[in-house]
Structure 1
Amino acid sequence: MELNEVRQQIQTTDQQLLQLLAKRRQLALAVAEAKISQNKPIRDQEREEALLLRLIESGKALELDAPYVTRLFHVIIEDSVLQQQAKLQGELRGMQGPSVKVAYLGGQGSYSYWATQKYFTRRAEQIIDIGCDSFNDIIKAVETGHADYAVLPIENTSSGSINEVYDLLQHTRLSIVGELTHPIDHCVLGVPGTALNQIRQICAHPQVIAQCSQFLLGLTNIKVEYCDSSSDAFQRVQQKQDPTMVAIGGEAGGKIYGLEVLARDLANQKDNVSRFIVVARKAVTVAKAIPAKTTFIMFTGQQPGALVDALTVLKRHGISMAKLESRPIPGNPWEEMFYVDVLANTHDYAMTRALEELNRITKFIKVLGCYPSEAIQPTEVPTS
């Protein structure tokens, strides 16, 4: 066959694959409806393992190797689980309508913008995005009713926790109602025709600078300009049209502003992932069929063993802790507030008892939110 003919057949096959994937997603949502009516959990990992093993065997007959089939269906299964969870939560709280207003950091093209799109496309027909210049502005947008939700980055695998967001959570009445993780691939982006050896100025958000510090150490005679967001950095480079000035951010975001990639994979860690939280004015109830996560803050006091006593409560009730973060308390030198993420639902008996006990032995405790966990661990199958 001629090359063009082969490409046309590939194009046709790709379109058929998309149609089949769309059909599979609709069937997964039908499964969710059946699970809701029968009060069954969303995930059945024994069934997922059997499914993967069957698909691997079928793939072998079609000359498709096991790692390829496994990676492909891990993505498909993850999408099915998240779609089903979103549907179940929507049924539980009642769908809000065709559109939601969401506040996030920066403008179109920022990492928070893409995280917002990723999270809410499963939950609303239309997203009215409200770009903000600071985390404080984001919180205020929801508190005042200007936005229904806010999406906030909370931690990154390379640069760690985002302390400003943790500190804001101490003082707001908003509740955490969701979470998501989003891969972060930092690139150097400049106006068309820019060369790496021409660079004299880099525009980027402080968190991006921290995540790419090793790459930046290898550069000389470079001025770093801190920006409010990645989209802000893109806009500055676009407006200047200066081949000595570049931005660091995501490739998809840079393309919105007409920028070209000069270098990729800049992060200090190969797997650079950010975790975002979703906050709203009203807390949500998480369906029992969905894995839940609860975040709370507590002040244990400075007496010896106070923190150990608090954590022992969680252990005694069989509650797994996912994160422990300490932050200073303004106005109280050398005293700290602890942020705790646990893998539990506040409506579970064990979690209810644990919170009651923590209330008695700590000086202060506040639940910031109970929400569906979107950390979907892939089902492993025997390598043989």
Structure 2
Amino acid sequence: MKDSLDLNVIRQQITDLDQELLSLFAQRRSLTLNVAKSKAHQVRPVRDQQREQELLVRLISIGKEKGLDAHYVTNIFQTIIEDSVLNQQAYLQQLKNPNIKTPTVSVAFLGDKGSYSYLASYRYFSRRAEEIIEFGCDSFAEILQQVESGTVDYGMLPIENTSSGSINEVYDLLQNTNLSIVGELSQPIDHCLLTAVNTKLEDIDTIFAHAQPVQQCSNFLNKQDGIRIEYCDSSAQAMHKALELQSANVAVIGSEEGGKLYDLLPLTKSIANQAENHSRFILVARKPVDVAVQIPAKTTLILATGQTPGALVECLVILKDYGINMTKLESRPIQGRPWEEMFYIDLEANLKSAEMQECLSKLTELTRFIKVLGCYATEQIKPTNVPVK
């Protein structure tokens, strides 16, 4: 009885400490918001990586004195730093674009509750809106249509994955839209095999899944014998199927987080080809946004060069001359013009900067067609490096 009582006491102490930690985290987040307010007036960059590095080094040293290893301390505070940066960026963007500040937003995404696009939508707007009006769609084309018609404010679209590469259908659709890219999000993707009932892997004969997860989990799937893949329009639709069938022979590929919304159980975790599996999403809207100068920005454009040797190289040289870093170059066929290609380019630059405006002017002279798809704050927060001793 004494051991049981002691365990209960210890658990209560842990619960009390967790509550204290949450209060301290909330206080720290409030202070970082004050930092953002200060930077808004002084026009200073959101990130000061030298200070971040000095902070981590000091905290690691203090942690060692308290019996905490460096890896543990680094992981915790890199997460806190990332949260601080993203909250400051969200605040500065609201100041820069006061006309779009609203407590409620409507978002179109692929699938239903539990899909990766659904989870990405909630993660993105968790810092920006109090309520999300969900609008699940059956296709990427429908997402764009709902935004263009004004039915919803935004559309969330997956654009590329670290395992399966670019999502060509989305790139092709962007050729013929007047929408603007106004945001991006990199979402960790942890594919699991989910079931509606307790079962064994050897009993599974049917897997419901969207085509992208199937491609990203091909190594795992190729090792399974006698399993039939049934393709679905979204991961959420696959989860619906498993929930309806309640069969020990059926599984779906999806996230553990999404599966919880359907009371699905993780049978096998981390089945993707790559351990570090991320999908990049873009957010589209009817009107562009301005990006505050304190925030790292990306500009996405499409261009078509002349059919002459070295035409694309000439464009890339222009970027080099202006010191603009290119993070993505994707070629896609021009619809209705066989053997001709359109190039999608992501640049680390603010569209309103003098360098970017001059660069665009030069590129316009060299290309047959050029169109800016959007300028937006980058949310790919690179961890601060800690010196190795």
TM-score bin, normalised by smaller chain: over 0.9
* Cα drift, residue 129 of structure 1: 1.3
Q: TM-score under structure 2 normalisation?
A: 0.97
Is residue 179–residue 374 contact of structure 1 (8 Å, CA) maintained in 2?
A: yes
Deviations 1:17-47 (A, max 9, x none): 1111111111111110111122211111111
Deviations 1:34-87 (A, max 9, x none): 111222111111111111122122212212122211111110000000000000
Task: Determine which of 41, 44, 49 is the counterpart of 2:45.
Answer: 41
Task: Determine which of 261, 264, 274 is the counterpart of 1:256.
Answer: 261
Is residue 181–residue 275 contact of structure 1 (8 Å, CA) maintained in 2?
A: yes
Task: Determine which of 4, 10, 13 is the counterpart of 1:6.
Answer: 10
Deviations 1:233-253 (A, max 9, x none): 000111111211111000111
Q: Which amino acid aligns with 1:56?
A: I
1:217 aligned residue: 222
Q: Counterparts of 2:112 and 2:22 in 1: how far apart (Å)?
A: 30
Q: CA RMSD in A?
A: 1.0
1:109 aligned residue: 114
The unaligned stretches of length 5 or more in structure 1 are none
Q: Which amino acid aligns with 1:8?
A: Q
2:136 aligned residue: 131
Q: Counterparts of 1:241 and 1:56 in 2: how far apart (Å)?
A: 49
The unaligned stretches of length 5 or more in structure 2 are none
Task: Determine which of 75, 81, 85 is the counterpart of 1:77.
Answer: 81
Q: Counterparts of 2:275 and 2:386 in 1: how far apart (Å)?
A: 25
Q: Counterparts of 1:188 and 1:63 in 2: how far apart (Å)?
A: 38
Q: Counterparts of 1:296 and 1:152 in 2: how far apart (Å)?
A: 17
Q: Counterparts of 2:383 and 2:354 in 1: how far apart (Å)?
A: 28
Is residue 208–residue 252 contact of structure 2 (8 Å, CA) maintained in 1?
A: yes
1:142 aligned residue: 147
Question: Is 1:55 paired with 2:59?
Answer: yes
Matches within 5 A, 1:194-343: 194-343=199-348
1:87 aligned residue: 91
Is residue 110–residue 117 contact of structure 2 (8 Å, CA) maintained in 1?
A: yes
Is residue 301–residue 335 contact of structure 1 (8 Å, CA) maintained in 2?
A: no
Deviations 1:186-228 (A, max 9, x none): 0111112222111111100000100001111011221111111
Q: Counterparts of 1:383 and 1:168 in 2: how far apart (Å)?
A: 46
1:157 aligned residue: 162
Q: Counterparts of 1:9 and 1:135 in 2: how far apart (Å)?
A: 49
Q: For residue 261 of structure 1, give the secondary structure of its aligned residue in structure 2.
A: strand
Q: For residue 339 of structure 2, give the secondary structure of its aligned residue in structure 1.
A: strand
Task: Return structure 1 stretches of 4+ with deviation > 2 angstroms.
Answer: none
Q: Counterparts of 2:280 and 2:40 in 1: how far apart (Å)?
A: 28
Q: Counterparts of 2:262 and 2:387 in 1: how far apart (Å)?
A: 46
Q: Which amino acid aligns with 1:46?
A: Q
2:26 aligned residue: 22
2:36 aligned residue: 32
Q: Counterparts of 1:126 and 1:256 in 2: how far apart (Å)?
A: 18
Is residue 202–residue 246 contact of structure 1 (8 Å, CA) maintained in 2?
A: yes
* Cα drift, residue 355 of structure 1: 0.5
Task: Determine which of 366, 369, 385 is the counterpart of 1:380.
Answer: 385
* Cα drift, residue 302 of structure 1: 2.0
How many residues matched? 384
Q: Counterparts of 2:311 and 2:101 in 1: how far apart (Å)?
A: 43
Question: Is 1:119 paired with 2:95?
Answer: no
Is residue 199–residue 222 contact of structure 1 (8 Å, CA) maintained in 2?
A: yes
Q: For residue 333 of structure 1, give the secondary structure of its aligned residue in structure 2.
A: coil
Give the percent of matched residue pairs that are identical in Structure 1 and Structure 2. 57
Q: Which amino acid aligns with 2:153?
A: D
